[in-house]
Amino acid sequence: MKRREESTKLKEEGNEQFKKGDYIDAESSYSQALQMCPSCFQKDRSILFSNRAAARMKQDKKEMAISDCSKAIQLNPSYIRALLRRAELYESTDKLDEALEDYKSILEKDPSVHQAREACMRLPKQIEERNERLKEEMLGKLKDLGNLVLRPFGLSTENFQIKQDSSTGSYSINFVQNPNNNR
């Protein structure tokens, strides 16, 4: 019991430091509290990991903060605050799919969380736009590669027309001798 009391005292110190904006000291206090807190007190440890994640978030230690949130969620899967914190971190590090999963998980546990509801409406479009952008980049790089390979033969990717069959979704490729004449 003594270790748990010591851990609680350190956590409260950490909370005070956090409120004052001493995020480095707060992170340190939460870390010490975690070392003291017996592993059987899963809920206490979960809160400590989440608090340390908040302190790390304020210092822009995003990956470490994500890791702490994950540990908090592992110890207490219904911990909304840790899920919300991790979702925000995922979103700020462009891990949009992971963020959306966390926001959905929050809504399943508590449909009244406005931030999660709003994100579930906003993120799918952002994910789609990002995927479209990545596809365009990939096609551009493939075209560059194709042109590099075809150039020694006096050809370019312009010599090949790609058409998608709308009924099957499959593609057909046609060779065009003088592509500039067709414009």
So where are the chain's domains? 2-93, 132-182
Residues with Cβ within 8 Å of residue 46, at least 6 apart in sequence:
71, 72, 73, 75, 76, 79, 82
Number of H helices, E strands in the chain: 7, 2
CA angle 174–179–183, rounded 5-degree value: 115
What is the structure's pLDDT at 181?
Answer: 63
Q: Angle at which helices 96-109 and 114-150 pack, to 10 degrees?
A: 160
Residues with Cβ within 8 Å of residue 43, at least 6 apart in sequence:
75, 76
For the domain covering 2-93, report its CATH number: 1.25.40.10
What is the structure's pLDDT at 166?
Answer: 86
Q: What is the mean pLDDT of each run of 10 residues along the chain (183 residues)?
A: 91 95 96 94 96 96 97 96 97 95 96 95 95 92 89 86 85 80 55
> What is the SS3 assignment for 175?
strand
Which helix (H) or strand (E) is 161 found in, with range?
A: strand 160-164
